[in-house]
Amino acid sequence: MTLSSPFSIAALSLSFLAPMSALASGDTIANSYVDVSAYLTSKADFEAWYQLRASLKQNFDDICGDTFCEGEYSNIESLRFRCSVNALTGRMGQCVWVFAASNEDVDPATGAVTVDARTWACQAPVAPRTTIQEFLTALAGPSPLYATLPHTQTTLYEGLGNCL
């Protein structure tokens, strides 16, 4: 490859400097968020995270019929609980719990089934500066849906009441 133009040489040298300036500022790295599963490193932390997600799904299934699943959508399902974590600090960015449901009707004259499908993306009330370790510790156990979230006086259950 031949760089005959001075503009090509300048552009090439600037392309090497751009990533270095981002590193020097610290902004890019300090605000680099990843999924919790990409952040965790120990087997115990992975197990705690996957157990938390399984327990949340079970807790929701246990109370759905008596609470959120009354009314138009009686089949609300927990799809996924996902959180972001700052890759350097371990502080949580956001957690979202996604749900889906449907209501189906059969037209007696034609047999056609109409579907009214709905999804919810419920933001968990995670306090600023909460670390993933604090979160995993506070929500460990069989009933994380009702555990008080770190640095708050609220629970994930109470957060769902504002969403579903």
* Number of domains within the chain: 1
* Domain presence at residue 10: no
The Cα 97–Cα 100 span in angstroms is: 10
* Domain presence at residue 84: yes
CA distances from 75 to 64, 99, 113, 161 (A): 8, 10, 17, 16
* Domain presence at residue 66: yes
pTM over 0.75: yes
Tens digit of each residue's pLDDT, the chain (164 residues): 454 544 444 443 444 444 444 444 455 556 899 999 999 999 999 999 999 999 999 999 999 877 888 888 889 999 999 999 999 999 999 999 999 999 999 999 999 999 999 999 999 999 999 999 999 999 999 999 999 999 999 999 999 988 99
Range list of H helices, the chain: 6-25, 27-30, 36-39, 43-64, 132-138, 156-161
Return phi, psi of residue 70, to 5°: -90, 145
Q: Is 146 helix (H, G, I), strand (E, B) or coil?
A: helix
